[in-house]
Structure 1
Amino acid sequence: MNTPNPARIRAADADRERVAQTVQTAGSEGRLTLEEVEQRLSRVYAAKFTDELAALTTDLPRPAPPRPGFPLTRDALRRHPALRVHLAVAVAVAVLLIVRWAVLGAGFFWPVFPLFWLAVSLFVHARVRSLRERAGTAVPY
């Protein structure tokens, strides 16, 4: 009786699609010829185990890790209540400064300077939060 190797793991459709995307990207970058892309893609979709898929991309460079994006997002505001409070305070101060400028009738828009520093403080706060979260040292507040 033929027993399968227990160390081998069956490949899922998502695994095949991920490897197919890597092969297609390598082809579009000129790392593989059109014939190589076609051959590898046919082998990708015929693969039954993950080790067969891994063998198709061993000679290709690994994709670069994703760069950190804009730190102040809705998701970040949901995860960190302190960011929501900081944003609310910044908006309230900004409104007060703009109203004061409008009431006083000053010609020069002087609130631009404190508004700039409010924005900088908010973005730095969000960036520090995202870096701590990525490092696994997120502070609960």
Structure 2
Amino acid sequence: MDTNGIPSRLRAADADRERVATRIQAAGGEGRLTLEEVEDRLSAVYSAKYTDDLAALTSDLPKPAPKRRPVALGHPAVRIHLAIAVVLSVLLIARWVASGAPFFWPAMPMFWLAMSVLVHARVRGARRRFKPEDGIAVA
């Protein structure tokens, strides 16, 4: 125990073991480890009691790349589309204020403007996921 009463070695959970085992199997699939090394390390992973034992098994492997969240409005054409939709929405609201209508009639055109931007972003996102070598024609 350290001075704060926290144990210096933490027991490994099943989720910790599975995470390390997946990383070792991936390294074996990439050719970084031989089949014998993968088998030895996996047996050590499932018999490990502490997290520092697990860390030692992957210390010579490269760190996995952090997962990036896809950007919905990343394409410049979608950002331009969004800007135009916002400008049109502001103009519609200004017209509604000037007209003095008792109900908010710009709600429906603004809804369809928003839907068009969302569909555009979705289509651009789908196009980005496919590569030409996938054999899928994208217009």
Provide TM-score, normalisation by structure 2: 0.50
Distance 2:128 2:104 in 1: 37
**How far is the alpha carbon of 1:117 from its aligned partner?**
0.4
Q: 1:39 aligns with which of 23, 26, 49?
A: 49
Cα separation, partners in 2 of 1:105 and 1:81, compared to 1, 3 Å: same
**How far is the alpha carbon of 1:71 from its aligned partner?**
2.4
Aligned length: 88
Cα separation, partners in 2 of 1:22 and 1:96, compared to 1, 3 Å: farther
**Mapping of residues 1-141 of structure 1, within 5 Å:** 23-24=15-16, 39=49, 41-47=51-57, 49-50=60-61, 71-72=72-73, 76=74, 80-136=75-131
Unaligned runs of 5+ residues in structure 2 are 1-11, 20-45, 62-66, 133-139
1:31-59 per-position Cα deviation (integer Å, ceiling 9, x unaligned)? xxxxx685263432222555xxxxxxxxx
The 3-state SS of whatever aligns with 2:101 is coil
Cα separation, partners in 2 of 1:109 and 1:81, compared to 1, 3 Å: same
Distance 2:113 2:106 in 1: 11
**How far is the alpha carbon of 1:100 from its aligned partner?**
0.5
Distance 2:115 2:14 in 1: 38
Cα separation, partners in 2 of 1:40 and 1:70, compared to 1, 3 Å: same
1:110-138 per-position Cα deviation (integer Å, ceiling 9, x unaligned)? 0000000000000110111111111236x
Q: Which amino acid aligns with 2:49?
A: Q
The 3-state SS of whatever aligns with 2:49 is helix
- Contact (CA 8 Å) 1:98, 1:111: kept in 2 or not? yes
- Contact (CA 8 Å) 1:86, 1:122: kept in 2 or not? yes
1:8-35 per-position Cα deviation (integer Å, ceiling 9, x unaligned)? xxxxxxxxxxxx89843859xxxxxxxx
Q: Percent identity?
A: 43
Cα separation, partners in 2 of 1:108 and 1:25, compared to 1, 3 Å: farther
2:3 aligned partner: none
The 3-state SS of whatever aligns with 2:103 is coil
Provide TM-score, normalisation by structure 1: 0.50
